[in-house]
Each structure stands twice: as C-alpha cells, then as structure tokens.
Amino acid sequence: MKKHPKDHKETFDTNPGNCGERVSKKKIHFWRGIFIFFLLVFMGTGLGLVSLYFGAAYYLMPMFKSYFSVAYLVLLNVFPVVWLMVLLYLVFNRIWLSFLSSALVTLGLSLVNYSKLMIRNDPLIGMDLRLF
C-alpha cells in the first residue's frame, strides 16, 4: 500500500545526542513566529523611545522623563512605530528591511521636528508635510 504524502509528518532532531527526541516543523514555525513578533516589538519600542527623546528638543532629559509620568503617553507614542514595523514585516517578510524602513521614516520625521524646534521653536505639523 502506497503511503499518502500528507501522512508523512516532517520532524527534525533537536539534538543528535538525544535518542529520538524530535520537533515538528509546525512547532518550529510557531516558535519562530513568536520570536520574530517579540523582536519586532522590542526594536519598534526602542525606535519609538529614541523618537520621543528627540521630540523633547531643548529640555531633552527632564521632558523625556516626564513622558513616563502619564500612564498611556509612551504607549500611544510608541504603538504607531511598532505597528508600522510589524506591517512592513508582513509586506516585505524581512526583519532588516522592515526595521530600516521604519527607522528612516520615524527618525527622519523626529530629526526634522527636532531641527525645526531648535531653529524656529515650532513643531513639525501635518501642514508642513504638504510643503514637500
């Protein structure tokens, strides 16, 4: 009797020294997906915090520390960066490309805002983006 290809379950040895302990391909993909998700969240959070630091302009550290006194202020400012990074990962399927694209957009806008605050004491607003 011929075995159907779907009946064969692909497994991999986790450690050649362990006699017969095997991990299925589905488990490997599941844990890889969990790892990538938390890696993207961690990198996006770091990128969002750097953008908050540049958003403080003249009062860098005192104002940056004051962001953490309000409960959801950091979450609401970091969430769009994390969301953008995860969305770009779903589009490109490459961690480095999603991080690079998100970093260029986020840090670009943050540095333009920082420069504009230092020179004109006026933050970057949506109307400024229409000038390009």
How high is the pLDDT of residue 80?
94
In a domain, 74, yes or no: yes
Q: Say if CB 86 and CB 44 are below 8 A apart.
A: yes
Domain hosting 38: range is 22-129
Q: Let me know if residue 26 belongs to a domain.
A: yes
pLDDT category at 14 given cuts 50, 70, 90 is low
Query: Is residue 11 a part of any domain in this protein?
Result: no
pLDDT at 106: 93
**Is residue 5 included in any domain, yes or no?**
no
Reported in sequence order, the residue ranges of the chain that DSSP labels E, i.e. its strands, are: 11-13, 22-24
Q: What is the pLDDT of residues 57-93, one digit of tens each?
A: 777 788 888 889 988 999 999 999 999 999 999 999 9
Nearest residue to 103 via CA among 55, 45, 64, 38: 45
Per-residue pLDDT reduced to its tens digit, 105-127: 999 989 888 888 888 888 888 88
Residue 85: per-residue pLDDT:
95
Give the chain's domain count.
1
Split at pLDDT 50, 70, 90, the class of 4 is: low
| Tokens representing residue 21 in the block | 């302990």
The answer to whether 78 touches 48, Cβ cutoff 8 Å, is yes
